[in-house]
Structure 1
Amino acid sequence: MTGVFINYRTGDGQDMAVLLNERLRDVFGKERVFLDSTGLPAGHHFPPELKRRLRDSHVLLVLLGRQWLDLQDSEGNRRIDNRKDYVRYEIRKSIKWKKVVLPVLLDGASLPNAEDLPPDIARLSEFQFRHLRSREADNDLAEIVAVLRQHIPVRQRPSQGPSRSTTNSAKTRRGVAVAGDNSSGTYNDNRSVPPVRRPPQPGEDE
């Protein structure tokens, strides 16, 4: 199972996505981190393989740069307003499937307001977030890793014994709002996190 699925917008965050991918693979192992540009072998049929990896993931990291909301397609329409847009699809399905959803704000970006988002992903505005800033990359990456260690087993190196961090008992000093978390995270407005639900099984809603 892929532990983390990195959701990003081409033209607004792909460099940070690569940086994050490298750090997370080092901590959790490459089999538990998915980034489409490195995780799909050449020759694979892109749409079904991407959907399979999304379904198999437990955590969705949504990378949000300053232009994320307003980037347009060739016809001048916001990309996020296209229901077939992959970024929107991945967020919509992760919310529906009760996955852990963690927005990552890049270099001073802000979390979008619900009214500025399509209705099917408006809940993205309710989730607690983390920052990833170029000048504070080491500290910010460490904090993101600390959050993810609550949900994903760390990579077992040859000289390591079982890690205590493989359990979900560790807590960070600040909560993370999620769609299906079983920790004590909180939403931005301090509402309790809903209980964890099982992921959909093969044959259920796509």
Structure 2
Amino acid sequence: MPDIFVNYRTGDEEGSAALIAHALSSRFGSERIFYAGKSIRPGQAFPQELLTAVRRSSVLLAVIGTRWAEATTRDGRRALDDPQDWVRREIQEALDTGAHVIPVLLRGVTRLDRATLPHELQVLADRQYRRFDHRNAESDLKRLGDDLADLVPRLAEADTAAGPAAEDRTPQHNGSVRMQVRDVRHRQQGGIGNLNGDLGTFVNESSGPLHTGSGNQHNGPTFTGDGMGVNYVAGDNSGGMRQQTDRVQPGKDDE
């Protein structure tokens, strides 16, 4: 069952409509996108296929190029003014069924004017639209896809472009403890601090050797002024660090 119906006019930059349909099919799955040039199989009755698909869709994308409003029928009338015009019929059907109807304006198309539309389609001018320009194809298609994922929960579930949410990432810790990954912001001016328990130890602005894990650490000798200091840390450093400085008395021959 399709969720998105791509409405377009033959002869009005239908290549752009095909590109939009292809990009959305890649992101959400081809079975969720109805594009007449691809979705209607040979031998099928296209009137019934079109009406069935648009009635079942949650969103209709009305792809509008520079010739969309001015295209004419074989007898010279404006196509939009013909009640049997398929572009018009599909949009009307979507409006009647309560689907989201989104105008997608192609390059060179200004915002729709109610005065230029048939009475049945004038509400189209009041709908929030999106733009598609080949020069910005990647960003325009991403934005359109994001909008559709927000509108239709089924599309969000099938969205291949959506990464896992941070709160759903649950890596294993020591083979048994599940730890939620979240942003940890810690600001400390100098010294050592703990970052939320299991996440480890924070060391900021250290100007000398520090011991934060298990094992022995021996720092020295360190000579300062007229004395000599030695730093020694044993074990897991659970009791902190103590520093002792012993003054060395000069020998009688020293100056």
Regarding TM over 0.5, the answer is yes
Partner residue in 2 for 1:190: none
Q: Describe the superposition over 1:16-37 as per-residue Cα deviations: whole angstroms up to 9, x where unpaired.
A: 0110111000111011000000
Q: TM-score, normalised by structure 1?
A: 0.74
What secondary structure is seen at the aligned counterpart in 2 of 1:149?
helix
Q: Root-mean-square deviation (CA), in Å?
A: 1.9
Q: Is the 8 A contact 1:8 1:64 kept in 2?
A: yes
Partner residue in 2 for 1:115: 115
Q: Is the 8 A contact 1:2 1:34 kept in 2?
A: yes
Q: Which structure exhibits the higher relative contact order, with contacts defined as CA atoms closer than 8 Å and separated by 6 or more residues?
A: 1
Return 5+ residue gaps in structure 1 as ranges. 165-206
Partner residue in 2 for 1:57: 57
| 1: CA distance, partners of 2:164 / 2:44 | 35
Q: Describe the superposition over 1:54-110 as per-residue Cα deviations: whole angstroms up to 9, x where unpaired.
A: 111100000011111111112211111100111000111111111111100001312
Partner residue in 2 for 1:200: none
Return 5+ residue gaps in structure 2 as ranges. 166-255
The answer as to 2:90 corresponding to 1:90 is: yes
- How many residues are matched? 162
Q: Cα distance 1:48–1:143, how it changes in 2: closer, same or farther (>3 A)?
A: same
Q: Cα distance 1:40–1:136, how it changes in 2: closer, same or farther (>3 A)?
A: same
Cα drift, residue 111 of structure 1: 2.8
Partner residue in 2 for 1:189: none
| 1: CA distance, partners of 2:106 / 2:77 | 23
The answer as to 2:28 corresponding to 1:25 is: no
Counterparts of 1:7-18 in structure 2 under 5 Å? 7-18=7-18
What secondary structure is seen at the aligned counterpart in 1 of 2:31?
helix
What secondary structure is seen at the aligned counterpart in 2 of 1:95?
helix
Q: Cα distance 1:58–1:163, how it changes in 2: closer, same or farther (>3 A)?
A: farther
Q: TM-score, normalised by structure 2?
A: 0.60
Q: Which amino acid aligns with 2:32?
A: R
| 2: CA distance, partners of 1:39 / 1:4 | 12
Q: Is the 8 A contact 2:5 2:54 kept in 1?
A: yes
Partner residue in 1 for 2:133: 133
Partner residue in 1 for 2:156: 153
Q: Which amino acid aligns with 1:155?
A: A
Q: Is the 8 A contact 1:66 1:106 kept in 2?
A: yes
